[in-house]
Structure 1
Amino acid sequence: MTALTSPAAAAGDWKLGDLTVNRMGFGAMRLTGSVAFGPGAPGDRERSIRVLRRAIELGVNHIDTAAFYFSPLLSANELINRALAPYPDDLVIVTKVWPARDPSGAWWWATPEQLRGQVEENLRQLGRDHLDVVNLRVPPSRKGGSIAEHFGALAGLRDAGLIRHLGVSNATPEQLAEARSIAPVVCVQNPFGVGAPPDARELLRSCAEQGIAFVPFFAIAGAGRESGATAPEHDAVLAVARAHGVTPAQVRLAWTLQQGPNVLAIPGTGNPDHLAENVAAGALRLSDDEMATLRSLG
């Protein structure tokens, strides 16, 4: 199956700097049983490896990960290495730094000087000599503050050849502007999906104007965030899903992708069936009326 006919190519592609990726990607967080900033439980190693290999078969060439995606027995980066190395030439692996977890699972946040160690940890786990894209994940405590020292440290590692491209995650428009004054930014990875507030929509629009990829997380989970799509689904989403004979998750992904050609989806799952459904959502096209109805949800 070629990249032109693969399911993941149905939504088109976008460039992260000089790296072309299909707009339908994959998020590795749930492979380990981890729920990012919540408690994790062990995942299924062999099933996770199968999911990763199946994602590549479906045409996925953009995988989002992090060294802090781990549970008591599994590490997302090491699963990616085990399943996919030697890596396909077109595969782009995006990771993120600033947050970290010690072996007990306790969280800590790196100083600018500690970011090199985090980058090197990702390199070791993934078995790479450079990282394709590294996002600076802004902590909640810095939502209104400067990220110049941390982003500047990453820019230095980019200049040293350890990183190819840079992005920001969980960032404000002001922080994006600050980062761009230091080095090129190829992507912004922020929470976004059906029901997103106006400021999130405005940031997406701004990224499009600047030619920057906007990479939503929690596009399926919505208000459930790290816990997943735990709340009852909205009637409007269910109605659109019934009309197309698809799942609510597929509707949410399709709606998100139709926000603009610079929007990249990275839904995560450890379930092979859900993986196939998620990737298939790239071919789903919602009508203008359906898009407007879902946009009106708060």
Structure 2
Amino acid sequence: MPSTARAALAGRTVFRVGFGAMQLDRLSDDRAAALALLRRAVELGVDHVDTAQFYGNGFVNDVLRDALRAGDDFLVASKVGADPDPGAPRPIRLAQHPENLRASVEDNLRALGLDCIPLVNLRRADRGPGLLAEGDQLVDLDDQLATMTALRDEGKIGAIGLSSVTLDVLRRALPAGIACVQNAYSLVSRDDEDMLELCVAEDIAWVPFFPLGGAFPGLPKVTEEPAVQAAARALGHTPEQIGLAWLLQHAPNVHLIPGTASRPHLEANIAAAGIAFDEDTLAALDAIPTRSMDAALG
């Protein structure tokens, strides 16, 4: 892989294609397959995993604990701000209060078998897609950051990230020392270009979720764009790989966390780091219009 395939994240230099572990829950009835998939990711050079205790009601963290070994030198990123809610239409519920954040960090530490989680993202709920904060879950950012910085000072977390936030929230949080931002972002939904530019200027990693769009009904899909399909045909790759490769080439601080429960998809996702576009192809992709995610969701 080229040298640009690695970049800084939470004080470490890691491979820019990590593994989003949420979809491991699809293998909850085949634990051996989940373990094998994680070990294959390590073999292919992945050294950054994104998880949460509310993924699979603890199943995902439990598998990670068994799959990762001391010699793997893995950066584990988890998130707080929601708790499992098994049996509900959406199997998570917001848990935004400071005491919830601390309890979730402790739950993650126990489940992962770690003394310190290298990176913990505060999952706010300021914007969609997904759950939005309302009622008693509208919690002041300063109160949340006070808890997160205390946990960092105590050595229970290594760095603080933010997820599902607005540009204003990021600006307010900068004095706390923010290592990364996770927001929905893709080639076809570039609402947060100003936030990405701020992250570049502040040396903050940008970790987009829903990197191919289309995660909710009504959202545009990267793979349906004619320019993406044309690039895939010309370069001999899949449209999904083209969408991931564009993100990596769009800004130097981008890290990907595509999730899958399939070994072929895992290998294809990782191979996207080796794709390079010529000027004409990149210009054609850059010219794809962005559609506002908020507008698409109505």
TM-score range, shorter chain: 0.7 to 0.9
Match of 1:110 in 2: 96
Match of 1:14 in 2: 7
SS of the residue 1:186 aligns to: strand
Match of 1:58 in 2: 44
Match of 2:295 in 1: none
Matches within 5 A, 1:1-298: 11-33=4-26, 42=28, 44-70=30-56, 75-84=59-68, 86-104=69-87, 105=91, 107-139=93-125, 140=127, 141-142=132-133, 146-181=140-175, 183-197=176-190, 199-220=191-212, 222-225=213-216, 233-297=224-288, 298=290
Instruction: Tell me how far apart the structure 2 counterparts of residues 171 and 108 of structure 1 sit (CA, whole Å).
Output: 14
Asked whether the 8 Å contact 2:81–2:101 carries over to 1, the reply is yes
Output one character per residue of 1:47-101: Cα deviation in whole Å (capped at 9) or x when no partner: 2111100000001001011111106xx71111111112x3335210000000112
Instruction: Tell me how far apart the structure 2 counterparts of residues 11 and 278 of structure 1 sit (CA, whole Å).
Output: 16
Output one character per residue of 1:237-262: Cα deviation in whole Å (capped at 9) or x when no partner: 11110011111110011000001111
Instruction: Tell me how far apart the structure 2 counterparts of residues 53 and 32 of structure 1 sit (CA, whole Å).
Output: 16
Instruction: Tell me how far apart the structure 2 counterparts of residues 232 and 112 of structure 1 sit (CA, whole Å).
Output: 40
Match of 1:3 in 2: none
Q: 1:227 and 1:268, CA in 2 relative to 1: closer, same or farther beyond 3 A?
A: farther
Number of paired residues? Answer: 278
Q: 1:20 and 1:231, CA in 2 relative to 1: closer, same or farther beyond 3 A?
A: closer
Instruction: Tell me how far apart the structure 1 counterparts of residues 220 and 188 of structure 2 sit (CA, whole Å).
Output: 13
Instruction: Tell me how far apart the structure 2 counterparts of residues 66 and 45 of structure 1 sit (CA, whole Å).
Output: 17
Q: 1:289 and 1:145, CA in 2 relative to 1: closer, same or farther beyond 3 A?
A: farther
Which is richer in helix? 2
Cα deviation, residue 287, structure 1: 2.0
Asked whether the 8 Å contact 1:28–1:65 carries over to 2, the reply is yes
Asked whether the 8 Å contact 1:31–1:43 carries over to 2, the reply is no
Q: 1:245 and 1:231, CA in 2 relative to 1: closer, same or farther beyond 3 A?
A: closer
Q: 1:229 and 1:45, CA in 2 relative to 1: closer, same or farther beyond 3 A?
A: farther
Instruction: Tell me how far apart the structure 2 counterparts of residues 283 and 55 of structure 1 sit (CA, whole Å).
Output: 16
Instruction: Tell me how far apart the structure 2 counterparts of residues 26 and 243 of structure 1 sit (CA, whole Å).
Output: 27
Instruction: Tell me how far apart the structure 2 counterparts of residues 21 and 232 of structure 1 sit (CA, whole Å).
Output: 27
SS of the residue 1:258 aligns to: helix
Q: 1:52 and 1:70, CA in 2 relative to 1: closer, same or farther beyond 3 A?
A: same
Asked whether the 8 Å contact 1:195–1:296 carries over to 2, the reply is no
Structure 2 gaps of 5+ residues are: 291-298
Instruction: Tell me how far apart the structure 1 counterparts of residues 228 and 184 of structure 2 sit (CA, whole Å).
Output: 19
Asked whether the 8 Å contact 2:94–2:133 carries over to 1, the reply is no
How well do the aligned residues superpose, as a CA RMSD in angstroms? 2.5
**Identical aligned residues as a percent:** 38
Structure 1 gaps of 5+ residues are: 1-6, 34-40
Amino acid aligned to 1:208:
V
Output one character per residue of 1:91-140: Cα deviation in whole Å (capped at 9) or x when no partner: 10000000112344352323112211100110111110111000001114
Instruction: Tell me how far apart the structure 1 counterparts of residues 270 and 217 of structure 2 sit (CA, whole Å).
Output: 20
Query: TM-score w.r.t. structure 1 length?
Result: 0.85
